[in-house]
Structure 1
Amino acid sequence: MTDGLFRRGGQGLVLALWVAAVLLVWEAGAWFIAEVMKTTAPASKLPYLHKVFGTLAEHLPTLLKQGTVTFGNSITGFVIGSAVGAALAILMSVSRAAEHTLSPYMIASQMIPIIGLAPIIYGIVRDAELSRVLMAGYVTFFPVAIHMLRGLRSVSPEQVELMRTYAASTWMLYGKLKLLAALPGLFAGLKLSAPLAITASIIVELMGAPDGIGVLMVSSLYYGTSQVYMFWSTVLISMVIGIVLYLLIAAAERLLTPWQPEFRAKGRDEA
């Protein structure tokens, strides 16, 4: 237990040192651009981070309100896309014919850039909220489907044969074996998709949505250097939204898949 505490304390110290180093390098870079290079509008190149934090604190209620809109639409699309991806993975694991039929279309769908698809969807739907949900779901379903399918296929033939000797039906085979084996792969896909879902929603907002963090981002760019610190504040809020979603998924993964080696190792240290 003591070793585990020391190890976590050391990891926290290393993380704190890394964060401090990044902040110091950022501030030094901003000072160099502004005072040494004497560039025009230095804040637009690399602003002082303490001024960005000051603007963030000053406009925090507005940023949180608009960030909540973006987060809500992203979560809705993320959940729908995850459900679709999981259903596709199960279907393809049951039927090779379904896999061979669906795989080319799934792969082809990912060849369309988000920045190109977002205005098309927004132009067709003409509803900012629905467009954000659709785009978040679009970027989510593919990673979830691929990683979960790999997890479903990770079950060994011996395990399947053992279940069959107990007269397990297909439903029992999936419920008690395959779906559990696929959970690590599912969470891998979810963690990959989470930042993409946030990004997809913001891209729709950049196309002319009435609200959301992307709207603040566009408006601050419109006013040029006078709103550069507001622009960087929206960037930081976007990063925070993505990190929060990722951490929520990581916490759910640890809760639902405690048998994974990295979690068992931590459990032994804590003991």
Structure 2
Amino acid sequence: MNTFPDGPIELIVDCSVFLITTFAYDDLMDGVYLGLGYDELETLSRECAKLGSTIPGSQQNSLPPRLAWPAQQVYAAYQDCFRRLSGYPAYQWASAYLAKHWQRGFEAMLQESRWRLGIDTMPGLIQYLNQAIPSLYGPLFYASWVVMKNLPPMSARDLDSWDHAAYLSSLAIRLCNDLRTAEREITENSPNTLSLLAREGQTPKQISHAVQKAVKDATIDLGTAVNAFPEPLAELGSALQNSTRFSCEWYLARDTHGLTTYQLREILTEASRTDS
């Protein structure tokens, strides 16, 4: 609702379903649900990644082998997300573009799990951000808007403009997320922007200043990029900035890792009372 306050109900529902499904998948990959081992997480991620390049309708009722509960439910939910996306007319010209981001998002999340579980050695800051930005699903979610908003066919140059703005938004959100979750992720031995900067010898004060400045710079650069959007993308500019603003504020407010749906509902209910 915050992103597309005047959007049709179908768009709001499809965006919400995609986000809720991604939050469920993220909980599995982050170890909130402890019943799945790495092999099962890898199978789920690779099978989900394949969905983005399948023929619409070809896997509507099929489930891949070797998926246990609740991985099966998450996979089935992503099948529904793909069915919804592929039903938009714009999918006909944007399918390859969407498939690229779809695969990249799941690959990045799997890599983060490998770091968290100690399968791969801790990355450097640049290597981490190259994975942590798409693993936040901003680039994939924003790519889906091109389809959901039924934009006309766009040139590679126009899509690059959108991807650049999506990157800036995702960078700001990722850094805000890392600011809030640093203490927990350090105890989990998960990579985080703050802990990786500390490994480079920066003091806590230097780190806090550097990350907050990077968030501010990314937000300013995002505004510049949005103002330069070509006509097909202009209508999405305010939505992208709304999403960035809300997500940054959401992540900075509290670490929601591991909260139940009831706890999240209480937080959102209280926030709505405060806003009114």
TM-score (norm 1): 0.27
**Largest Rg, 1 or 2:** 1
TM-score w.r.t. the length of structure 2 is 0.26
Q: Which has the higher contact order (CA 8 A, sep 6+)?
A: 1
